[in-house]
Structure 1
Amino acid sequence: MSQAAPPGQPHPARTEAHDPAAWREGFKTGLPTLFGIAAWGLVVGIAMVKSGLSPVQAVGMTLLVFAGSAQLASLPLIAAAAPIWVIFATALVVNLRFVIFSALLGPHFAHLPWKQRFLLGYVSGDMTVAMFLQRYPTAERVAGKLSYLKGLMYPNWFAWQIGSLVGIFLGSAIPSEWGLGFAGTLAILCIMVPLIINSAALCGVVVAVAISVLAYGLPYKLGLLLAVVVGMVTAMVVEETFAKRKAKHV
């Protein structure tokens, strides 16, 4: 149910005026990451066509999915003709971190119309959410907050799509000997390492790596799915344990 506005005041969902200065601030904050995002999109675009997708299918995937890690996790499953539920489950689990991102951003923008929140959720990315929360760690209503977020997210989305589209349409001309699959691994590491910000996240990563190695032989790359699930559960348990210990000492 939408929140009613007091007499003589605008509806709270329509009080977010565009702030050019805040937008430019967000853009400048995210600008150093745009080249890396475009390069990462380029690698994923090449990987899609190298995996057997047609250019039309690859363009549809990059526009609809817009999640490099989920796309890369799905490609070998598609190539192996895995059951559709395995492909969807793998992509879902790989992207579960965005549920956490949404929970973190929710208090900041719960007053916005659901269509606008849906669009912001679609264009959100790992680094953009992290940079926004560094700038605005609390959910206090501050003028220009939405414009700052858009200044981070929209250029990030365009950089990814441009890189991905270039990779899709030039992928057939890239020799396999260039080893761009390894470049994709390096790109994932560059994005992942800054996100390991505490002991809980580190524990989750270590456990996920161990599980992925031990479960490597499972069919349809299910070892990846298992590693992500166990890693996330581990990080949550460790985080909860640390929180309880901290509460006891307060």
Structure 2
Amino acid sequence: MPPDSTGLSAVVFPDPEKQAFRQATRDCAQAMPGIFAWAVVTGMAMMQSGLTLWQALGMNFIVFAGSAQLAALPLIAAGASPLLVLLTALAVNLRFVIFGASLGPHFAHLPWKKRLWYGYLNGDIVMGYFPQRYAEGGRPAGKAGYYMGICALNWIVWQAGSVAGILMASRIPASWGISFAGTLALLALLIPLVKNAAALSGVSVAGTVAVAGAALPYRLGLLGGVVAGMATALAVDALQGGEEK
């Protein structure tokens, strides 16, 4: 490398976005075994619900929402109307409205096509790691790279696990306890998100309602838990905001 006018060699600094991307993959790597297990459970559930191979693969890559997929599968198997399946999936994924509102200020400057892509890749794990590093808005170097690092690793591991579950649905014995590993994965993602009274209240109410309604058909107890939990969290957050004023 030729010397510059000061007699010193030019220094090539690494791209901060690439650095942040690699840092993100290192930060969330510990959660990947659980994500993989949960994805395997989802892949198996799709096949056991009567979907064909191509239907399961299509649902996996297009929908890319484990909890919504698992909520919709019993309805599909029972022959429920497409509208009910759609409304159930939307209700279960209402939390992404809150996720999107939280992430919006960070990426509002990007073109809508890129923001749409970011929205597709968003997941629970993103909200477990991204806010810890970037609590405020603005455009610090590396923000997009960090976000994409989490999303890319999560998407790859999820798709790999789901495809494995789809292809091996009839070969994985129940004694392996894969479904329990999936539940542990969700708990590992949930705990870092419970940081205030609103989140704790929402989680407590959602869990209580879901367990109380476990016997309801079409997993309506799960749907009720999601709605009740979100309503409770919003109410507590509004009350806290009023008290602060």
Give me the TM-score of the superposition, normalised by structure 2. Answer: 0.87
Corresponding residue of 1:11: none
Corresponding residue of 2:84: 86
Instruction: Give the AA of the match of 2:42.
Output: V
Greater CA drift, 125-134 or 58-67:
125-134
Q: For residues 96-245 of structure 1, what are the structure 2 equivalents within 5 Å?
A: 96-245=94-243
Secondary structure, aligned partner of 2:137: coil
Equivalences, count: 231
Contact residue 99 and residue 127 of structure 2 kept, 8 A: yes
Q: For residues 28-107 of structure 1, what are the structure 2 equivalents within 5 Å?
A: 28-107=26-105
**Residues 157-205 of structure 1, C-alpha deviation per residue, up to 9 Å, x if partnerless?**
1111011111110112123454544443333333323322222122112
Secondary structure, aligned partner of 2:144: helix
Q: 1:207 to 1:65 in 2, by over 3 A?
A: same
Q: 1:209 to 1:123 in 2, by over 3 A?
A: same
The whole-number CA distance in structure 1 between the counterparts of 2:22 and 2:179 is 35
Instruction: Give the AA of the match of 2:47.
Output: V
The whole-number CA distance in structure 1 between the counterparts of 2:77 and 2:39 is 20
The whole-number CA distance in structure 1 between the counterparts of 2:163 and 2:182 is 16
The answer for unaligned runs of 5 or more in structure 1 is 1-16
The answer for unaligned runs of 5 or more in structure 2 is 1-14
Instruction: Give the AA of the match of 1:121.
Output: G
The whole-number CA distance in structure 1 between the counterparts of 2:81 and 2:232 is 28
Greater CA drift, 30-39 or 104-113:
30-39
- Runs of 4+ deviating beyond 6 Å: none
Contact residue 49 and residue 74 of structure 2 kept, 8 A: yes
Instruction: Give the AA of the match of 1:222.
Output: L
Contact residue 92 and residue 226 of structure 2 kept, 8 A: yes
The whole-number CA distance in structure 2 between the counterparts of 1:93 and 1:241 is 24
1:149, distance to aligned residue in structure 2 (A): 1.1
Secondary structure, aligned partner of 1:173: coil
Instruction: Give the AA of the match of 1:158.
Output: I
Q: 1:34 to 1:182 in 2, by over 3 A?
A: closer
Greater CA drift, 200-209 or 226-235:
200-209
Contact residue 47 and residue 181 of structure 1 kept, 8 A: no
1:207, distance to aligned residue in structure 2 (A): 1.7
The whole-number CA distance in structure 2 between the counterparts of 1:179 and 1:167 is 13
The whole-number CA distance in structure 1 between the counterparts of 2:177 and 2:53 is 21
1:120, distance to aligned residue in structure 2 (A): 0.7
